[in-house]
């Protein structure tokens, strides 16, 4: 089996604690708990990744920096991997704003990628900027059957949407199952250019459609 693409959600931020819709760059920093999560994640890796990447967001760069310190693998920042952009809902933490975003986000998981919140991205626009980067990483680093894993520190809502689309994860499972800070989605390249999801947070395949919803972080 070839190496995996390990997508890591960043550590806890001040925005997560306040349940803010925080998507614009550079975004809010890690909390002390988020720093501890990032350090723990790096320390528990049994084998250093062959490459370590992150989005441009401050929280992803900080998380990746602690993984770099623990593993010795240099961190590289990539453009185009920021969180789903929520437009006019940016910075809000009201129940109404959360519900408005979640209505659009869930619609994406069930096939309507054209929707957007006012001033925000459509699901297709997220895929169009994000998927080509993952395909390039696959071609550059995961074609050798002996290739070690690569790690990409990213964002919960984007990670879930991208992984559902690439690996055909059951729609209801992907829509309902949030990721806690520093939890991972692990994707393995398959023949013919596909991907298989081998981990989603605490879950491993098979992923059931009837899995109970988890988490209440709007971006998780």
Residue in 10, 98, 155, 178 annotated catalytic:
10
Mention every residue, 6+ apart, whose C-beta is less than 8 A from residue 99. Answer: none
CA proximity to 42, closest of 13, 66, 9, 7: 66
Clarify whether 76 is annotated catalytic. Answer: no
Pairing of strands 195-200, 184-189: antiparallel
* Local structure of 173: helix, strand or coil: helix
Pairing of strands 150-154, 51-54: parallel
List C-alpha distances in Å: 19 to 39, 104, 185, 187: 23, 18, 22, 28
Clarify whether 178 is annotated catalytic. Answer: no
List C-alpha distances in Å: 164 to 25, 110, 132, 157: 24, 10, 15, 11
Residue in 68, 83, 121, 186 annotated catalytic:
83
Token reading at 80: 């185009």
The catalytic residues are: 10, 83
């Amino acid at each position: 089996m070839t190496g995996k693409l390990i997508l890591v959600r960043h550590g806890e931020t001040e925005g997560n604690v306040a349940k803010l819709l925080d998507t614009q760059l550079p975004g809010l920093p890690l909390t002390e708990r988020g720093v501890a999560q990032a350090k723990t994640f790096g320390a528990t890796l049994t084998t250093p990744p062959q490459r370590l990447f992150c989005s441009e967001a401050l929280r992803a760069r900080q998380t990746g920096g602690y993984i770099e310190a623990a593993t010795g693998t240099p961190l590289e920042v990539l453009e185009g991997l920021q969180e789903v952009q929520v437009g006019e809902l940016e910075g809000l933490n009201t129940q109404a704003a959360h519900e408005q975003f979640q209505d659009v986000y869930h619609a994406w998981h069930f096939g309507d990628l054209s929707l957007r919140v006012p001033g925000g991205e459509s699901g297709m626009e997220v895929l169009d900027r994000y998927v080509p980067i993952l395909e390039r990483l696959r071609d550059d680093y995961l074609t050798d059957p002996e290739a070690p894993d690569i790690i990409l520190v990213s964002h919960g809502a984007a990670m879930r949407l991208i992984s559902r689309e690439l690996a055909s994860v059951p729609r209801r499972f992907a829509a309902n199952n949030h990721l806690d800070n520093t939890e991972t989605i692990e994707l393995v390249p398959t023949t013919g250019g596909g991907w298989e999801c081998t981990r989603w947070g605490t879950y491993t395949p098979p992923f059931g459609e009837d899995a109970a919803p988890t988490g209440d972080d709007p971006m998780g």
